[in-house]
Amino acid sequence: MDELRYQIDLLKAMNQKMSGREKMFRLACDTSNNAFLYYDYEKNSLITFGSWNDFFSFPVTETKDFSLILDMLQEEYAEQVRELLFLEKSGEEHGSAESCLKDKRTWYEFEVRVNYGEDNRPLDKIICIRNITKFKSQNEELRYLAYYDGLTGLYNRNYFVMLLTDFVRQAEKEKDIVSVLFINLDDFRKINDSMGMVVGDEVVQQYGQFLGSFSSRNIIVCHMNSDVYCMAIYDPCGNRSVETIYKNIQEKITEGFLLSNGTRVHVTVSVGVAEYPEASESVLELINCAEIVMYKAKASGKSQMQYFNAPMLQDFLQTVEIENKLKQAVFNKNFVLHFQPQYYSDTKKLRGMEALIRWRDENNQMISPMVFIPIAEKNGAIIPIGNWVIEESLRCYKEWKRKYGQDFIMSINISSLQCRKDNFVSHIMDLIDKNGIDASEIEIEITESILIEDFEEVKEKLIILRDQGVRISLDDFGTGFSSVSYLNELPIDTLKIDKSFVDKVLTDESTRIILESIVNMVDRLGYESIAEGVETEEQLAYLQKIGCAVIQGYLLGRPMPAEKVDEMFAKML
Ligand code: C2E
Ligand code: CA
Ligand code: CA
C-alpha cells in the first residue's frame, strides 16, 4: 500500500515536473520488480513503467488495451480483474485480486488505487501488477500439509470436516441428503502383525487410493487415521448412491491389491453409514454416528455395511453409561442375588434354585441382567461379576443347608468368557471344597453360544467338572442353533426348554409337536427336562401331561431375595 502511495506521489511529481520525467521513470523501475500502470483521467493519458516488459510482451497505451491483459488470464479470473482495472466504476478507492494465467502456472496479483477529487470525480489511478507465483506455490505446499494426509494423498480429518460442513450447509439450503460412510479395514492388525508395518502402510495407502478414485465434486474422501477412512456423498443417487459405491467396494475384495513385494491381499471393510439430516444435523455427530454403526457392522461379522438409525444412538449412549457405572459397581460389589425355585412337575417338591443376579445402582434401582450382562460379557467385567455370583451363591447354599437341612440343587449361570478362563474348573472346585459342599448339588447352566465358540475346549472342561460330580445344564434350549447332533457328545444332566416354547405351547400346534419330541428325546437320553417361564395353570397341566420333569416360572415362584428364601425354607420345616 505504501509502495502504491509512493508511486502515485512520484507520478504526480513526474506530471508536474516534466523535465525530470526520464529520471524518475528510471528510479521507479529500479525500485520495483512489479509492473505499473498510471492513468490520468483528465488527460486520458496512460503510461506503463516498472518491470512492465518482464510481465507483458505488448504495450498498453489506452484503457481499451486492458483487454490484452485480460486475455492472458484464465477465464474464471478475468471478470474480477476487469472490474478491478475499472475500479472507479464502483466508486471504490482500493482493491486487489489474484489471477492465474492461461499457462496454469503463473500467478499475478493486481492491486489498484484510485484518487478522487473533492467532487468525487476520479483524478488518477495506479495499477500495480506483481508476480506471486513463488509465494503461491509455497502457500500450496503449506496448504497441502495442512489439508492432506501424507500417506494416502487423501484429505485429512480436519479438511474433511471443513468440506463436509460445506456439504451440510448446502444440503440444508437445497433440502438434500448427505451420506457419511465410516470405513474401517477388517483385521488390519493381523496384516500388520503377520506382514509387518511397512506392508501395513502399503495396504492403507493402496486402499486409500482406491477409495480416492470415487472422489468427485459430490464425493469427498479422507484418511482419518490408521486403517480408517471417511467418505461423504452429497445427494447420493444413481451411480453415486451408497449401495453402488458399496457394491464397488465389495467387488474390489476379489481382485485385491497387488503389493510391491508381489503378494496380493484381499481386504474386506466394515462400513457404517449415517445420513444428514436423519442421523444428525451436526457434522461431528454424523461422523460419530457412522462410526458407531461401523462397530456394529464389525460386531455382526465384518465385511458388511450398516445404516444408522436413531434408536441405535440411544442404545450406544446407554451402553457407554452402563459400562462406566458397571466398573464402579464391580468395585463396590453393588450386586444382589435373587433365587427362583424349580419344582418337580409330578410331586410339586422343590428341586432346586436358580441364582439370578441383579444390580442395585446408586439410586437403589434394580437393573436387569438382560441389560448389563451382555455389556459385561463384551468388556470383560463378567469375570469378576461371575466369580462373585459363584462365591455368593455357594455361600448362601451352605448357609441354607446348615440352617434348614433341605436337599436342593443350586443352579448357577455361567458365561462363555468365564468358561474360557484357564482356571475355570479349578476355581469352581476350590470354592465347592472350601465350603464343604457336595458337588452333585451344584449345577452350572451354560448356553449353546459357549459351545459354538470353542466346542472341544469347553467339552473337555465340562467333562472334568462332571467327573467331579458337578451337574451340567444346557440353558435356553430351542433359541440358538439347537443342534441335536451334539447333545449326545456332551456331558449333560439337564436341558432347559426356553420360555419362547412354553409361551406358544397352547396356541401353536407345531410348537407342541417340537416340544413333545424334545421332552421325549431328553427322557430317552437320560437327561432331565426343565420348562422355563411357566406362567399359567394350563401351561403347567400340559407340561405335566407330556412328562416334562421340572417346572420353573412365575406361576410357582418368582425370583426372590435371600430373605424370602429363608422364609420359604422356614415354612417347610
Ligand atoms: P435365564 O438364565 O434364562 O434366566 C431366566 C430368566 O427368566 C430370568 O430373568 C427369570 O427371572 C425369568 N423368568 C423366570 N420365570 C419367568 C416367567 O414365568 N415369566 C417371565 N416373563 N420371566 C421368567 P432374569 O433374572 O432377568 O435373567 C435374565 C438373564 O440374565 C438370564 O436368563 C441369564 O441369561 C442372565 N443372567 C442372570 N443372572 C446371571 C448370572 O449370574 N450370570 C450370568 N452369566 N447370566 C445371568
Ligand atoms: Ca439360566
Ligand atoms: Ca434360560
Q: How far is it, in rounded angstroms, from Cα 506 to Cα 508?
A: 6
Contact 234, 171 (CB under 8 A): yes
Q: Please state the atom number of ligand 1 nearest to the C-alpha of residue 369.
A: 30
Contact 115, 92 (CB under 8 A): no
21 lies in some domain: no
Q: Quick check: CB of 411 below 6 Å from ligand 1?
A: no
Does 515 lie in the same domain as 480?
yes
Long-range Cβ contact pairs of 61-64 (< 8 A, separation 24 or more): 63/39
Higher pLDDT, 215 or 302: 215
pLDDT 10s digits, 223-252 = 999 999 999 999 999 999 999 999 999 999
Q: Quick check: CB of 533 below 6 Å from ligand 1?
A: yes
Contact 450, 458 (CB under 8 A): yes
pLDDT 10s digits, 420-471 = 899 999 999 999 999 999 999 999 999 887 777 678 889 999 999 999 999 9
Kindly identify the ligand whose nearest atom is closest to the C-alpha of 356: 1
Q: Please state the atom number of ligand 1 nearest to the C-alpha of residue 382.
A: 44
Does 391 lie in the same domain as 298?
no
Range of the domain at 168: 148-308
pLDDT 10s digits, 147-206 = 889 899 999 998 999 999 999 999 999 999 999 999 999 989 888 888 888 999 999 999
313 lies in some domain: no
Contact 532, 498 (CB under 8 A): yes
Q: Is the pLDDT of residue 141 over 80?
A: no
Does 63 lie in the same domain as 160?
no
Neighbours of ion ligand 3 (CB under 5 A): 475-476, 532
Q: Quick check: CB of 356 below 6 Å from ligand 1?
A: yes
Ranges 26-40, 304-318, 341-355: which has the least confidence: 26-40
Q: How far is it, in rounded angstroms, from Cα 468 to Cα 461?
A: 11
Give the angle 235-241-245 at the CA atoms, nearest 5°.
130
Q: Whose CA is nearest to atom 43 of ligand 1?
A: 413
What's the chain's average pLDDT?
90
Does 129 lie in the same domain as 183?
no
CATH of the domain at 510: 3.20.20.450
> How confident is the model at residue 348, as a pLDDT?
94
Q: Is the pLDDT of residue 47 over 60?
A: yes
Does 236 lie in the same domain as 92?
no
Cα of 194 vs centre of ligand 3, distance in Å, is 41
Does 520 lie in the same domain as 437?
yes
**Which residues are CB-contacts of 104 (< 8 A; sequence separation ≥ 6)?**
74
Q: Quick check: CB of 374 below 6 Å from ligand 1?
A: no
Does 332 lie in the same domain as 302?
no
**Which residues are CB-contacts of 490 (< 8 A; sequence separation ≥ 6)?**
451, 459, 462, 472, 474
298 lies in some domain: yes
* Amino acid (one-letter) located at 527: Y
Does 227 lie in the same domain as 131?
no
Does 234 lie in the same domain as 97?
no
> How confident is the model at residue 276, as a pLDDT?
96
Is this model's pTM higher than 0.85 or not? no
Q: Is the pLDDT of residue 131 over 90?
A: yes
Q: Is the pLDDT of residue 386 over 90?
A: yes
Q: Please state the atom number of ligand 1 nearest to the C-alpha of residue 357.
A: 38
Cα of 393 vs centre of ligand 2, distance in Å, is 14
If phi > 0 it is left, if psi is from -120 to 50 it is alpha, else beta; for residue 202 that is alpha
548 lies in some domain: yes
Q: Quick check: CB of 478 below 6 Å from ligand 1?
A: no
pLDDT 10s digits, 490-516 = 899 999 999 999 999 999 998 999 899
Does 167 lie in the same domain as 47?
no
Q: How far is it, in rounded angstroms, from Cα 377 to Cα 384?
A: 11
C-alpha of 393 from chain center: 39
Q: Reduced to 3 states, what is the DSSP secondary structure of residue 313?
A: helix
Neighbours of ion ligand 2 (CB under 5 A): 413, 445, 475
- Domains: count for the chain: 3
Neighbours of 468 (CB within 10 A): 15
3 lies in some domain: no
How many residues appear in the chain? 573
What's the average model confidence in pLDDT over 53-75? 93
DSSP state of 309: -
318 lies in some domain: no
What's the average model confidence in pLDDT over 12-39? 62
Does 120 lie in the same domain as 153?
no
Ranges 108-122, 194-208, 229-243, 308-322: which has the least confidence: 308-322
What's the average model confidence in pLDDT over 338-357? 97
Q: Is the pLDDT of residue 73 over 50?
A: yes
Q: Quick check: CB of 415 below 6 Å from ligand 1?
A: yes
> How confident is the model at residue 8, as a pLDDT?
56
Q: Quick check: CB of 371 below 6 Å from ligand 1?
A: no
Q: Quick check: CB of 369 below 6 Å from ligand 1?
A: yes
> How confident is the model at residue 399, as a pLDDT?
96
Specify burial of residue 507 (Cβ count, 10 A radius: 0-12, 13-18, 19+).
exposed
Cα of 155 vs centre of ligand 1, distance in Å, is 50
Chosen domain end from 93, 110, 136: 136
9 lies in some domain: no
Q: Quick check: CB of 522 below 6 Å from ligand 1?
A: no
Question: Model confidence at 27, in pLDDT bands (50, 70, 90)?
Answer: low
Chosen domain end from 136, 166, 194: 136
Q: Please state the atom number of ligand 1 nearest to the C-alpha of residue 389.
A: 41
> How confident is the model at residue 150, as a pLDDT?
87
Ligand 1 binding pocket mutation candidate from 335, 343, 356, 552 (most atoms within 8 A of CB): 356
237 lies in some domain: yes
Neighbours of 169 (CB within 10 A): 12
- Number of H helices and E strands in the chain, helices first, is 22, 22
Does 544 lie in the same domain as 398?
yes
Alpha carbon of 379 to those of 326, 337, 362, 466: distances in Å? 10, 21, 21, 29
CATH of the domain at 253: 3.30.70.270
Q: Quick check: CB of 342 below 6 Å from ligand 1?
A: no
Q: Quick check: CB of 306 below 6 Å from ligand 1?
A: no
Q: Is the pLDDT of residue 23 over 60?
A: no
Chosen domain end from 79, 101, 136: 136
Contact 128, 19 (CB under 8 A): no
Q: How far is it, in rounded angstroms, from Cα 279 to Cα 289?
A: 7
> How confident is the model at residue 138, as a pLDDT?
81
CATH of the domain at 98: 3.30.450.20
> How confident is the model at residue 19, as a pLDDT?
43
